[in-house]
Structure 1
C-alpha cells in the first residue's frame, strides 16, 4: 500500500498528491499535522528514507530557528523535536512498502512506484 504524509496547505505536498491521483494504484493519505506520528513511526520512516533525522527537518521553520538552531542535537533529540512539532517534518513523504521518498520534487514519487 502506498501512503502519502500530506499537508494540504503546502503546494509541494498538493503536487505530490496530484501525481499519486494520476496513478492507477490505491493509496492512503495521512494528514500528519492532524494525526501526528509517534516517535517509533517517525524513526521507522527515517530508516525507510535512508537519511539522517536532520535531513527530514524543515530548518527554515520559525520553531526550528527559535528553539533548536545552533544547538548540538543528537538524532534522538531531533526526532523528539519533530514529534513535538510535526510542522518541522519535510513534506510530502511517500511510502510504498519498504521504500520511501521525500517528494520534492513530486517526480521523486515515480522512483518507488
Structure 2
C-alpha cells in the first residue's frame, strides 16, 4: 500500500484532533498521523509547513498557554522567535495542521481540512 498523501500533525489527546480523525474515518479518507510531541518539529520543517498554510507563525500560536508566556512571545516577536518557541514548546502550536502536497491548513474548524483535500 502506498503512503497516504495527507498528513495530519496532531496531539492525540486534543479534542479537535480526535474530531478530525472521526471526520476522516467517516469519509473514507486515508491519512498519516504525526504526533509532533513524539516526532517533534525542527525549525526548518515547521517554517516550511507554516509557509504552506499562508499563516504567520503568531497566528498559529495558542496564546493562552503558560509556555507561550514563559517563552516571552508577544505580538512584537519576530517570526523566527515565534518558530523557535514553538519548537521548544510544541504545546503552543494550534492543531491539527493538515498537509497535502504543497498546501497545508490549520483545521480549525475541522471542515477546513476537507477544503484542502478536495482541491
Q: 1:22 aligns with which of 20, 26, 32?
A: 26
Q: Give me the TM-score of the superposition, normalised by structure 1.
A: 0.92
Q: CA deviation at 1:25?
A: 3.4
Which structure is higher in RCO with an 8 Å CA cutoff and minimum separation 6? 1
Instruction: Count matched residues.
Output: 113
Counterpart pick for 2:81 among 56, 77, 84: 77
Residue 22 (structure 1) shift: 2.4
| Ranges of 4+ aligned residues in structure 1 off by more than 6 Å | none
Aligned residue number for residue 10 of structure 1 = 14
Alignment of 1:1-113 (within 5 A): 1-70=5-74, 72-113=76-117
State the Cα RMSD in Å: 1.4
C-alpha distance after superposition, 1:16-36 (max 9, x if no partner)? 121122233321100011111
